Amino acid sequence: MNLAFDLLVGLSLVWVAWRIVGSRDHFQAVVLFITFGLILSLAWTRLQSPDIAIAEAAVGAGLAGVLFMDALGGLSSSPGSPRPAVPLTLLFPCLILASIMAIAVLFVPEDFLGLIPVVHGALTDTSLEYPVTAVLLDFRAYDTWLELGVLLVAVLGVMGIRRIGSISGSRLPAPADPVGRWIIRILLPIMVLIGGYLLWLGAFAPGGAFQGGVVLAAAGVMLWQAGHPSLGLLPRLWWIVLLFCGFLSFLILAFWSLFHSGRMLAHPENKLWILGVEYAATISIATCLISLVLASPGRCRVRDN
Amino acid sequence: MNTFFLGMALFLVLNILAGLWRVLKGPEPADRMVAAQLFGTTGVAALLLLAQALESPVIRNAALLFALLTVMAVLAFVRNTSYRDKHNNDH
Amino acid sequence: MTINELLSVLFCLSGGVFFLAGTAGLIRFPDTYSRLHALTKADNLGLGFIVLGLIFVAGSLPETIKLVLIWPLAMIGSSSACYFIANHVHRLTRNKGITRD
């Protein structure tokens, strides 16, 4: 049964991916991509990686769909125009890459544990209990730091292309109808609650800054979709502070530890430090993702009636 | 017992794959959106079954997120297409 | 097999039947409105039965509460998504002044 499930999920992933690339209809490709995220989440679950499954669920179900729909709404071409076909010659480099990766997997020894023993051995050096969070926030903190930088660059890129300096003046969807207001009244508090829960969970179980940040961002985007300015209400200075606070907290930590212990990004023993950095990162991730959606080119200023 | 839950999850994945026919066929964007929403709920059930079959309760959080967030894509879909209708009528 | 496991299998199987019905409806029903019907009725009953089946083997109380929370959340999302799509199709057909198949 295990093998049947794995084969089915693996083959359907490849098939759906191929249909996404080959689809001639934009909207069809978007819906297929949302489905792809769902099947991918099942695959990560089967691979015993609940962290990635939860992240994939949060991004794939929540924000990716919204961003794609807005991108479609912003396309200048008429909605019916087909997508250009993907050239077949691209197939060969892809096949070569896939076979190289397959060979690489075949050469992994069966009882290979990777970095698991190293990470578990080093857990005593950090104040965190959960190995994945310890890797993300402590052992490889510069990775997380630079990922926050990547998110910032993405936001700056969108703002640059759209030629806007802040999100406060950006377009606003029409006010939600009664049903929209009803689900927001129910779902919004639950979203904030679950975002906080995932952040808190990250200390000892799958969850953490990224997953929590994405769910909080989904709450902000939900509010905006109902016609509320959401983060746009903030003064520009505050918005910039929220946008950069995750990146800056890592920077401060790097300098502080450089002068105190001579090593960059070495966390002090106090757990408050690491929690502060994680919370700042969560706020920055949520702000960046909300800004991405609010600055996206979707069209929604007018609503017919 | 765990094999049974895994088998049920397999059955739900087969349901999703069968439903993909509607996504490919259409004909309207709304039909494809209906299929996406159905997959969302089917995925929640499949993840819950997997959490039980693999005995890893944290997977239930992924199911919770799908249950909570699937509606966002529908909201964005309605928001974008309602503008386009208005836009076309103006011309 | 204990009585709890038996009940769990029974409820999960009935949930599976509803999911099958929902998928069949999605594929076979002739227009968007009736496909929505297949989605919200059959699908949420299906998830409800599977959640009910899993409660019997869930173990601890917090996990049971989480399971019970997921079902209404999915129902709220799914039923309002149904309303939004139906409203959208309704406006579309009214604006075009034609009846779609």
Q: Residue B90: its pLDDT value, please? A: 41
Q: How confident is the model at residue C31 (pLDDT cuts 50, 70, 90)?
A: confident
Q: Residue B46: its pLDDT value, please? A: 93
Is the C-alpha dihedral spanning A214, A220, A221, A223 positive or negative? positive
Q: Residue A41: its pLDDT value, please? A: 93
Partners of residue A33 in chain B, C-beta under 8 Å: none
Rounded to a whole number of angstroms, the distance from the CA of A98 to the nearest CA of chain C is 33
Are A98 and A143 members of one domain?
no
Which of 34-53 (B) contact A at CB < 8 A? 35-36, 39-40, 43, 46-47, 50-51
For tokens 């009664």, name the residue: A178
Are A163 and A205 members of one domain?
yes
A176 pLDDT higher than 80: no
Give residue A300's Cα distance to chain centre.
24
Are A286 and A142 members of one domain?
yes
Residue contact A179–C76, C-beta within 8 A: no
Query: Is the omega angle on the peptide bond into residue A87 within 30 degrees of 0, that is, cis?
Result: no
CA angle C91, C94, C95 (to 5 degrees): 85
Partners of residue A176 in chain C, C-beta under 8 Å: none
Show me where the domains of chain C are located: 3-96
Are A133 and A252 members of one domain?
yes
Residue type, A194: I
Residue contact C47–B15, C-beta within 8 A: no
Partners of residue A304 in chain C, C-beta under 8 Å: 91, 95
Q: What percent of chain A has pLDDT over 90?
A: 22
Residue contact B45–C67, C-beta within 8 A: no
Rounded-to-integer distance, Cα A135 and Cα A130, Å: 9
Average pLDDT over residues A258-278: 78
CB C43 within 8 A of CB C63: no
Question: Containing domain of residue A208, as a range?
Answer: 119-305
Are A33 and A68 members of one domain?
yes
Closest in A177, A187, A304 to C76, CB measured:
A187
**Among A65-74, A225-234, A296-305, B55-64, which range has the highest average pLDDT?**
B55-64
Give the chains touching B; criterion: ≥3 Cβ pairs < 8 Å.
Answer: A, C
Q: How confident is the model at residue C16 (pLDDT cuts 50, 70, 90)?
A: very high
Rounded to a whole number of angstroms, the distance from the CA of A182 to the nearest CA of chain C is 9
C100 pLDDT higher than 50: no
Q: Residue A34: its pLDDT value, please? A: 92
Last residue within a domain, chosen from A73, A93, A112: A112
Choose, out of A26, A32, A304, the residue to mutate when testing the contact with B (most B CBs < 10 Å).
A304
Closest CA to A298 of B75, B34, B88: B75
> Which residues of C touch chain A, with CB atoms under 8 Å apart?
73, 76-77, 80, 83-84, 87, 91, 95
Q: How confident is the model at residue A83 (pLDDT cuts 50, 70, 90)?
A: confident
Lowest mean pLDDT among A93-107, A125-139, C11-25, C44-58: A125-139
Lowest mean pLDDT among A75-84, A109-118, C1-10: A75-84
Are A24 and A168 members of one domain?
no
Last residue within a domain, chosen from A56, A84, A112: A112
Tokens for A61? 């179900």
Partners of residue A177 in chain C, C-beta under 8 Å: 87
Residue contact B89–C12, C-beta within 8 A: no
Q: Residue A77: its pLDDT value, please? A: 53
* DSSP reduced 3-state for A49: coil
Q: Residue A304: its pLDDT value, please? A: 38
Are A129 and A276 members of one domain?
yes
* DSSP reduced 3-state for B1: coil
> Which residues of B touch chain C, with CB atoms under 8 Å apart?
1, 4-5, 8, 11-12, 15, 18-19, 21-22, 28, 30-31, 33-35, 37-38, 40-42, 44-45, 48-49, 52, 57, 60, 63-64, 67-71, 74-75, 77-78, 81-82, 85, 89
ipTM score: 0.89
In C, minimum Cα distance to A185 occurs at C76
Residue contact A2–B6, C-beta within 8 A: yes
Rounded-to-integer distance, Cα A194 and Cα A199, Å: 8
pLDDT: which is higher, A137 or A33: A33
CB A212 within 8 A of CB A196: yes
Structural domain count of chain A: 2
Q: Residue A234: its pLDDT value, please? A: 82
Q: Residue A27: its pLDDT value, please? A: 85
What DSSP letter does each residue of A84-113 carry, written as one string?
Answer: PPPPGGGHHHHHHHHHHHHHHHHTS-TT--
Q: What does the CA dihedral C41, C43, C44, C47 come to, rounded to 10 degrees?
A: 150
Q: How confident is the model at residue A154 (pLDDT cuts 50, 70, 90)?
A: very high
Q: Residue A213: its pLDDT value, please? A: 92
Are A124 and A10 members of one domain?
no
Q: What percent of chain A has pLDDT over 70?
A: 93
Residue contact A179–C84, C-beta within 8 A: yes
Q: Residue B13: its pLDDT value, please? A: 92
Q: Residue C59: its pLDDT value, please? A: 77
Residue contact C27–B70, C-beta within 8 A: no
Rounded-to-integer distance, Cα B20 and Cα C85, Å: 18
A216 pLDDT higher than 90: yes
C88 pLDDT higher than 90: no
Average pLDDT over residues C61-68: 88
pLDDT digits (tens, 9 = 90+) for A280-305: 999 999 999 998 888 877 655 444 33
Residues of chain B with pLDDT under 70: 82-91
Choose, out of C60, C69, C70, the residue to mutate when testing the contact with B (most B CBs < 10 Å).
C70
Partners of residue B68 in chain C, C-beta under 8 Å: 73, 77
C99 pLDDT higher than 60: no
Closest in A12, A42, A173 to B46, CB measured:
A42
Are A160 and A76 members of one domain?
no
Q: Is A1 exposed, middle or buried (0-12, 13-18, 19+ CB in 10 A)?
A: middle
Last residue within a domain, chosen from A112, A146, A178: A112
Partners of residue B49 in chain C, C-beta under 8 Å: 12, 50, 54
Give residue A126's region: left, alpha or beta (phi > 0; psi -120 to 50). Answer: beta
Average pLDDT over residues A143-147: 88
Please give the DSSP secondary-structure letter assigned to residue A171. -
For tokens 């930590």, name the residue: A253
Number of neighbours of residue C53 by Cβ within 10 angstroms: 26
